[in-house]
Structure 1
Amino acid sequence: MKPLTPSQLSHILYLLDSGASAHEISTSTSIHHSTISRIRSKHRLNLATSSGGCPRLLTSSDTRYAVHLITSQKADNASQVKRLLANSLPHSISTKTICRTLSRAGMKAVVKVKRPLLKPKHRKDRLDWALARQNWTIEDWKRVVLLRP
């Protein structure tokens, strides 16, 4: 490997500072991308690097809107969020992507606890039961038989 000239080195550093990737610099200077990566790690330690991967399909505003739909109870699950977001997005998106986005936003999937519906009659009966036993002593409560399954 022949050494780089100072002008080549300064040109590579200039391109790195301007935000070009190692592969872009490699194609324009005919210097291998691993050499450019080594120069970046030696001369520009705290220069931001790409995290890699595909760009996200949902923007941050789409994510906020999806969280809003869930928290305001306009949607109960990711498939309903997908249906509501489909109108505003130029491309199709999967339910799994919505799930990952909501998870990244700090939301967790939980099953709603089903509780019996308390009707006014039930509330009245419970209040009557409590009022009937309002003045019970400890001895009265000791006579209650506890049934264990």
Structure 2
Amino acid sequence: MIRKQDIGALFLRVFLGAAFFIHGLAKFQGGIGNTAGFFESLGLPGFAAYVVATIELVGGLAVLLGLGTRVISFLFAVILAGAMVKVKFAAGFLGNDQMPGYEIDMALLIISVYFVIAGSSLFALDRLFFRSKAE
């Protein structure tokens, strides 16, 4: 039996996965070297841009498909927390004339934490590989 909560979680999972996939793709399409330079300007190692972009791209696709949702959502939460602290907090919740605020990052962080805690199994590949004894 499909519950309303499972349908809601599916919508959130698809959105989260798609959002991260698109952000990761944009980093590679826009020139990952530019992103690495931006990371270095923040005092972060440039190679971290490759790690983040790969997690966003591959992890976004995996979450979209429901594969490793809890683990990848934890990685998303770490990335979002880092982005908020290093970049977005200075602009405030709603942003300023130079950059957007951290309201979207906070929403994505909360969705990610939800999946770390609750997971999402409706139409998820994880169900094929990790069937619980209760099913």
Q: TM-score, normalised by structure 2?
A: 0.25
Highest RCO, 1 vs 2 (Cα 8 Å, sep ≥ 6): 2
Judging by fraction of residues, say which structure has more helix. 2
Q: TM-score, normalised by structure 1?
A: 0.23
The structure number with the bigger radius of gyration is 1
